Chains A and B, each alone.
Chain A
Amino acid sequence: MALGNIIVTMKVTPKPEEIRFDPVKKVVDRSKATNEINPADKNALEMALQIKERYGGRVVIVSMGPQFWDQFILMGIAMGADDAVLISDRALGGSDAFVTSKVLAAAIKKIGNYSLIITGEESSDGSTGQVPPGIAEWLGIPVVTYVSQFLEVGEDYIVVKRTIKGGSETVRVKLPAVLSVELGCNNPRFPDFERLNWAKTEFKLTVWGIKDLGLTEDEVGFKGSLTSVTELRELRPRERLRQFIEGSPEEIARELIRRLGLK
């Protein structure tokens, strides 16, 4: 048995602790935030690489975003992915999860011969978690969300463990299928230094615009989206006392117990 393409979707996200909110203009300022590969997508890539090592196939990264994401995608290549496609188009700005899943699904169709599509459970910025089931629906294939482990891959199926309330369930799903993997379910490997050099000098990233996917401007971006953001506000942190209690551990313990009425 040989698997076809194992496609990993990847997003680049700003670190949430470095995001600022401009209360006057009511916009999110990401300019000072460090960008990183969305943490859960690294777990997705790691799972894809492990499946490839055991069962064959070709790992292909698909991403939708601005051109400068190429440096992050090369990191994915350096981790071991075989190929990568970046869908980059000005018309894509403002796309909601509905459009994002449509565009990614169109790219996956174009790449073709896929056995698995592996995504992170959600992105650390938008965090809707609805892109993975959306992709599955566009492609007409099943999805298993919150996968923590793969157990077995057969001719036309995969057996995975998924997290549910109070525990886990093991399911066998027909291929091709979409899996969304849980953040932190594995330890993503580090990029291989030599491979990174190769990626930077010889690897050629494929870049597609929406026309390459047979999509029109009306179908994507703000125009194609079915939700619209009318206002942004900051969720003000709750006012806290922020009192420091000092002393020896015993003194601190006594003081806490007294103030909190624990005894």
Chain B
Amino acid sequence: MSEWRGIWVFVEQDDGELERASLEILTRAGELGGKFNEEVYGVLLGHELSGIAEEASRYGADKLIIVDHPELRHFNSDAYTEVLSYLINKYRPRYMLLPATRNSRDIAGRLAVRFRTCLSAHVISVDIDEKDRRLVTAVPGFGGNIVATVVCTGGKPEMATVSPGTYEARAGSKRAVLISETVPEELIKKRRIELVGKERTQMIDLSRAERVVVAGLGTGGDLELINEFAKLINASVGVTRPLADMGLVPRDYQVGTTGVSLRAKLAFVFGASGAPHFVYGIRDCGTVVAVNTDREAPIFEHCDYCIVADLFEILRALIKELRGG
């Protein structure tokens, strides 16, 4: 058997939609590959992939392995795990990086056990040790407050899921060589999960919005003034977890560890207490303004302008003022 070589990046797609976080990781893998003399592979499973393959081939990979099959058009944790296992056994990559999305975290967890290998979860940095070439990652825990440096002590491929937004995706002039793979039919056919239906709407990507207005539970779920104000200042609207739990908005608009991390230049936070899981999502924002009736709310330790007041009164005043007084 050949030795374990190369860095793999799982290029996630679902129904023809490319997961951008995969391109961010490809870019990072390209840097690591250059530094440590490891070949970088992207691995793409799906159906009718030419557009996505073309896009993914420009982000630093040397090679792009493509498995095109109608049954792989939609993400399927069962079938995807089988196909990836087959490919890993065939190519034996030393490292494997996946985006820390819902879908990829699912297959990463399965693959780690199947290959009896290490897996660092939703890391915020990924590196290779100069001396022993082990994968070294930074893993946030306890609501994001404490970060552990985690190294792999056993198994191959050494795996990590990387948080979306951790690295910048940069397209270069180099194009990856495309490799078309076919896999045994029964791997795809023996799946036990059947897709019955899918409901999706086109989402704005909150993590890239320049201005965001966040509504917390203090709004009681009444987003009318929030939306009006956001529109006036050309901002996107985000929410804290309880509002997403209530089903007021899709999960994609939730800010925090189990939602989106913002990178906005300006963020308003109305009626959120400032729990660690939430604050983690606004730490990379430029200026943060918070409005809360409770002077002791922890959110005031994490913002630039603190306003102790009823959020609806402040919103009304802001709207009036912006409309010309």
Query: Which A residues contact B (CB, under 8 angstroms)?
Result: 14, 16-17, 19, 21, 28, 96-98, 101-102, 121-122, 124-134, 136-138, 141-146, 159, 163-174, 177, 182-185, 225-235, 237-238, 240-246, 248-250, 252-254, 256-257, 259-260, 262-263
Instruction: Given the known inter-chain contacts A126-B141, A138-B113, please indicate yes or no for A234 contacting B150, CB distance below 8 A.
Output: no
* Shortest Cβ distance from residue B85 to the other chain A in the assembled complex, whole angstroms: 10
Main secondary structure of the interface of B (DSSP, over half): mixed
Residues of A with C-beta under 8 A to B313: 249
B103 within 8 A of A: yes
- Contact of B203 with A249 in the complex, beta carbons under 8 Å: no
B5 within 8 A of A: no
Cβ contacts A to B, 27 pairs, < 8 Å: A98-B119, A129-B121, A130-B108, A132-B109, A133-B105, A134-B113, A143-B109, A159-B196, A164-B198, A167-B199, A167-B201, A174-B193, A183-B245, A226-B118, A231-B148, A232-B146, A232-B148, A235-B140, A237-B301, A238-B283, A240-B302, A244-B306, A245-B307, A248-B317, A249-B309, A250-B317, A253-B321
- Contact of B192 with A174 in the complex, beta carbons under 8 Å: yes
- Cβ contact of A233, chosen from B146, B191, B252, cutoff 8 A: B146
Main secondary structure of the interface of A (DSSP, over half): mixed
In the complex the two chains form, what is the Cα distance from A124 to B103 in whole Å?
19
Residues of A with C-beta under 8 A to B245: 183-185
Residues of A with C-beta under 8 A to B142: 14, 16, 19, 28, 125
Residues of B with C-beta under 8 A to A252: 307, 309, 314, 317
In the complex the two chains form, what is the Cα distance from A240 to B274 in whole Å?
14
Instruction: Given the known inter-chain contacts A16-B277, A226-B154, A237-B301, please indicate yes or no for A142 contacting B77, CB distance below 8 A.
Output: yes
- Contact of A253 with B320 in the complex, beta carbons under 8 Å: yes
- Contact of A165 with B283 in the complex, beta carbons under 8 Å: no
- Cβ contact of A122, chosen from B112, B146, B252, B258, cutoff 8 A: B258
Q: 1/0 per position for B60-91, CB-CB distance to A under 8 A?
A: 00000000000000110110000000000000
Q: 1/0 per position for B196-213, CB-CB distance to A under 8 A?
A: 111111110000000000
Interface residue ranges of B269-325 to A (CB < 8 Å): 275-277, 279, 283-284, 287-289, 298, 300-310, 313-314, 316-318, 320-322
- Contact of B146 with A101 in the complex, beta carbons under 8 Å: no
In the complex the two chains form, what is the Cα distance from A249 to B319 in whole Å?
11
Residues of B with C-beta under 8 A to A246: 308
Residues of B with C-beta under 8 A to A130: 105, 108-109, 112, 119, 121
* Shortest Cβ distance from residue A227 to the other chain B in the assembled complex, whole angstroms: 5
Of B74, B106, B114, most buried by chain A (CB within 10 Å of CB) is B106
In the complex the two chains form, what is the Cα distance from A202 to B317 in whole Å?
60
Residues of A with C-beta under 8 A to B74: 169
In the complex the two chains form, what is the Cα distance from A260 to B307 in whole Å?
14
Residues of A with C-beta under 8 A to B117: 226
Residues of B with C-beta under 8 A to A235: 140, 144-147, 283
Give 15 A-B pairs besides A28-B142, A228-B153, A241-B305 with Cβ atoms closer than 8 angstroms: A98-B119, A127-B141, A143-B77, A143-B109, A145-B105, A163-B102, A164-B75, A169-B196, A170-B197, A171-B194, A235-B147, A240-B304, A244-B308, A250-B317, A260-B287
* Number of residues from B at the complex interface, CB < 8 A: 95
* Closest B residue, CB atoms, query A237: B302
In the complex the two chains form, what is the Cα distance from A173 to B193 in whole Å?
4
* Shortest Cβ distance from residue B284 to the other chain A in the assembled complex, whole angstroms: 8
- Contact of A98 with B112 in the complex, beta carbons under 8 Å: yes
- Contact of B301 with A227 in the complex, beta carbons under 8 Å: no
B14 within 8 A of A: yes
Residues of A with C-beta under 8 A to B202: 166
Instruction: Given the known inter-chain contacts A242-B303, A262-B233, please indicate yes or no for A133 contacting B78, CB distance below 8 A.
Output: no
Q: 1/0 per position for B176-206, CB-CB distance to A under 8 A?
A: 0000000000000001111111111111000
* Shortest Cβ distance from residue B161 to the other chain A in the assembled complex, whole angstroms: 8
Instruction: Given the known inter-chain contacts A145-B105, A163-B102, A163-B251, please indicate yes or no for A16 contacting B306, CB distance below 8 A.
Output: no
- Contact of B77 with A145 in the complex, beta carbons under 8 Å: yes
